[in-house]
Amino acid sequence: MWYDHAARKGGRAISFVQQFYDKTYPEAVTMLLGRDGQGIIPIVNGAAGLTMGVIYDKKGLRFSMILAAVVSFVSCTMIACSFWGNVDMLYVAGCLILVTSYGSVAPLATAFARERYGAKRFAHNLPVVNTDIAGGSVFQQVVVSASGGGSSIIYTVMSVFGAVALALSGVFARITRPKKR
């Protein structure tokens, strides 16, 4: 926390970087976490993949996929709200939760390919199922480029996409049942 007695103004770490280093909200977070979050993001992503694998083992594919959709929706909504309300910690938490959501893609894609299409042609079907990872990577780059690093409108739109994905997870839940042979 900081406080400028002469200006009678204060805040937390992100607002300090914004004020005294003339950085945007996302630039301030990046500066505080290290260049592009190199330290924490891979750790959270890896832990998310491992955790989602355990959840899949305990609760099954349908529950795991709906949980991943909920986490994605919540994280995008948190980020959008952080911009609208200028709440530093909500932005950081939303970003870390978003990384958690993305980290669950690989184990869920693997589980989906195995359960839906079986083990016989698993090596053929997994790359087809994994095309969602490529799409997510491209979408991320488009969002970052379009927003110049961050924009409340972009994350609001992403929250809407998250809500649609969550709704579709419920509508199409039947395809997560193993195919009977």
- List the structure tokens of 24: 């945007």
SS3 15: helix
The pLDDT value recorded for residue 58 is: 92
Output the pLDDT for position 179.
Answer: 56
| Per-residue pLDDT reduced to its tens digit, 26-80 | 777 777 666 555 556 677 778 888 888 899 999 988 888 888 888 888 888 888 8
Query: Residue 74: which residues within 8 A CB-CB, separation 6 or more?
Result: 97, 162
Contact 162, 69 (CB under 8 A): yes
Report the percent of the chain where pLDDT is more than 90: 2
The pLDDT of residue 123: 82
User: 93-126 pLDDT, tens per residue?
Assistant: 888 888 888 788 888 888 888 888 888 888 888 8
Lowest mean pLDDT among 52-61, 147-156, 158-167: 147-156
Residue linked to tokens 């110049």: 148
Query: pLDDT-derived band of residue 177, with 50, 70 and 90 as boundaries?
Result: low
CA angle 168, 94, 27 (to 5 degrees): 125
Where b means 16+ CB within 10 Å and e means fewer, 153-168 reads: ebbbebbeebeebbee
